């Protein structure tokens, strides 16, 4: 949609940011109408970068078009019917979470279809761990739980062990190695989805598929958030803290330990065990190890969570794009709806400007030094405390303001976010989940996760009771 058309709708009274009260809402509407008058002259020109993304942004200015699936909100790939936060789905009571991981080895035997039909048995051979003999493993497909441009995800049961798993089946381009598989082999963290093993299969059309066998976790942050929104309730603050903190840990691990940017952080890609509330980051189909000086595609990340430097066509970005997405997710958990609900890539920038104000020349240069258009109307930033309910803790608002900065280098890192006062409750040994259950493990840090951390940061990161418990000494 052209920005002019979008802003006419904006000026007519539509608001996208919830307010805490009626008077505040009226004031917000008045401010938006004043901003609309200025923004109605606004036209975003594409970046001078000769990339597919830049061309896509230019086309969006001229006509209405549907964005490719990679950049839109995809279906939940590990979904079940949402239950109350205290009621366990039946399959969760029977689920056994395991950390065992076999090496990806071989071709699937005797499979001539997509393998996602209920009752279809998949038989494959995998290599044994630590030099053990090869073993045959059989999976019975139970139901499709997600589809997308990547392929299909289905729930299956291992016939040898009875374990429920998720199998992500991805069509392969024989000319390229699968980046997702390479990355998944590198990762081993309590807040990252576990790859158990993998195998390849062929169809009757001689299409090659990669099958990633993953641990099965039935819920997502997206569905949990929707559950509260439909009930006209706010998500309990303890869950907002737990989920956001665990996302920070996952990002600290992939950013600091491996230089990997996920590039698609959103509620649908955050799996949650509804019993323990342990969170795991999934879907590394868009992830990439970023290398200094190497160009990357800018048209990436689901729209609502897309960092502004990507909208400006930057191709030399950093892992800070994930930090922006993290801020968007946290804000959504507090609001019960997306913070920046743009209807197109260009409109996404309009939604951001409505809250953060017009970026300065310096900020635009930080986002994309090659971007030369600076003819933006001067819109004042909307105060963060007016965006959220009065009941929202000031620490939460402060953290979001540190995550959602135009300049990527001014956003706090994932590890810095972990020590923010908003999460102090999680460091209190007396804190429990609703119902009295203990919190999931939050301080079992890996050395790579703490890479580059100062002694002062470590002192704040690891609670005293954990240091005493593990005999740790931070100097």
Lowest mean pLDDT among 6-10, 55-59, 88-92, 395-399: 88-92
Residues pairing with 169 in the sheet: 152, 211
Mean pLDDT of 459-471: 85
Q: How far is CA 461 from CA 85, 118, 175, in A?
A: 28, 46, 44
Q: Is 25 helix (H, G, I), strand (E, B) or coil?
A: helix
Say whether pLDDT at 467 is over 60: yes
What was the pLDDT predicted at 41?
Answer: 44
Residues 264-283 pLDDT 10s: 999 999 999 999 999 999 99
**pLDDT value at position 129?**
67
Find out whether 169 is annotated in a ligand binding site: yes
Give the pLDDT mean for 40-61: 37
Q: Could you give phi then psi for residue 302, rounded to 5 degrees?
A: -60, 140
Q: Residue 142 gets which letter from DSSP?
A: E
Q: Would you call 392 exposed, middle or buried from its count of C-beta atoms within 10 A (0-12, 13-18, 19+)?
A: buried
Averaged pLDDT, 435-454: 91
pLDDT of 433 reads: 95
Question: Which pLDDT does position 339 carry in this prediction?
Answer: 98
pLDDT-derived band at 30, boundaries 50, 70, 90? low
For residues 204, 207, 213 and 217, what is the CA-based torsion angle, rounded to 10 degrees?
-90
Known catalytic residue: 264?
A: yes
pLDDT at 351 over 80: yes
Enter the tokens of residue 57. Answer: 């942004």
Give the per-residue pLDDT at 364: 95
Higher pLDDT, 367 or 132: 367
Give one DSSP letter per residue of 84-134, joined into a string.
-TTSPPHHHHH-------PPP--BPBS--S-S-STT-EEEEEEPPGGGPPP
208-254 residue pLDDT tens? 899 999 999 999 999 999 999 999 999 999 999 999 999 999 999 99
Between residues 448 and 98, which one has the greater pLDDT? 448
Whether pTM exceeds 0.85? no
CA dist 397 → 42, 330, 466 (Å): 29, 10, 28
- Torsion from C-alpha of 178, 77, 171, 72, nearest 10 degrees: -80
Q: How many helices (H) and strands (E) does the chain have?
A: 16, 11
Which residue out of 264, 283, 322, 347 is catalytically annotated?
264
Our CA dihedral for 171, 172, 173, 178, rounded to 10 degrees, sits at 130
Tens-place pLDDT, residues 290-349: 999 999 999 999 999 999 999 999 999 999 999 999 999 999 999 999 999 999 988 999
Worst-scoring range by mean pLDDT, 22-36, 310-324, 356-370? Answer: 22-36
Q: What is the pLDDT of residue 472?
A: 61
How far is the C-alpha of 323 from the C-alpha of 307, rounded, in Å? 9
Identify the CA nearest to 255 among candidates 194, 310, 360, 326.
326
Partners of 166 in beta bridges = 155, 214
In the predicted model, what is the mean pLDDT of residues 144-156? 85
């Amino acid at each position: 949609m052209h920005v002019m058309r979008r802003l006419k709708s904006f000026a007519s009274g539509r608001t996208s940011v919830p307010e805490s009260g009626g008077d505040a809402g009226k004031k917000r509407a008045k401010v938006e109408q004043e901003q609309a008058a200025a923004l109605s002259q606004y036209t975003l020109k594409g970046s001078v970068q000769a990339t597919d993304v830049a061309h896509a942004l230019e086309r969006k200015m001229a006509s209405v078009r549907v964005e490719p699936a990679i950049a839109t909100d995809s279906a939940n790939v590990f979904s079940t019917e949402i239950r109350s936060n205290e009621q366990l789905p039946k399959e969760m009571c029977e689920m056994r979470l395991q950390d065992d991981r076999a090496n990806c080895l071989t071709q699937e035997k005797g499979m001539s279809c997509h393998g996602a039909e209920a009752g279809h048995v998949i038989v494959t051979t995998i290599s044994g761990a630590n030099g053990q003999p090869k073993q045959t493993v059989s999976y019975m497909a139970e139901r499709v739980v997600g589809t997308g441009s990547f392929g299909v995800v289905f729930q299956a049961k291992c016939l040898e062990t009875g374990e429920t798993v998720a199998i992500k089946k991805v069509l392969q381009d024989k000319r390229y190695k699968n980046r997702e598989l390479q990355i998944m082999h590198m990762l081993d963290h309590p807040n990252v989805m576990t790859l158990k093993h993998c195998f390849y299969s062929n169809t009757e059309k001689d299409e090659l598929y990669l099958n990633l066998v993953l641990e099965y976790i039935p819920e997502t942050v997206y569905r949990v958030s929707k559950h509260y929104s439909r009930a006209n309730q706010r998500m309990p603050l303890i869950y907002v803290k737990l989920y956001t903190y665990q996302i920070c840990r996952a990002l600290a691990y992939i950013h600091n330990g491996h230089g990997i940017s996920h590039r698609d952080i959103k509620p649908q890609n955050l799996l949650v065990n509804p019993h323990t509330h342990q969170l795991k980051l999934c879907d590394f189909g868009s992830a990439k190890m970023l290398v200094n000086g190497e160009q990357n595609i800018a048209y990436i990340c689901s729209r609502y969570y897309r960092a502004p430097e990507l909208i400006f066509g930057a191709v030399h970005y950093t892992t800070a794009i994930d930090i922006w997405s993290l801020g968007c997710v946290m804000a959504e958990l507090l609001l019960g709806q997306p913070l920046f609900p743009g209807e197109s890539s260009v409109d996404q920038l309009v939604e951001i400007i409505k809250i953060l104000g017009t970026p300065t020349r310096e900020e635009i240069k930080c986002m994309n030094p090659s971007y030369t258009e600076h003819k933006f109307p001067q819109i004042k930033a909307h105060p963060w405390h007016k965006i959220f309910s009065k009941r929202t803790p000031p620490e939460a608002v402060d953290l979001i303001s540190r995550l959602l900065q135009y300049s990527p280098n001014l956003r706090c890192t994932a590890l810095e976010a972990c020590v923010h006062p908003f999460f102090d409750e999680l460091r209190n040994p007396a804190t429990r989940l609703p119902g009295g259950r203990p919190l999931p493990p939050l301080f079992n840090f890996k050395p790579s996760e703490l890479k580059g951390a100062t002694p002062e940061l470590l002192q704040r990161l690891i609670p005293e009771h954990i240091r005493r418990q593990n005999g740790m000494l931070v100097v």
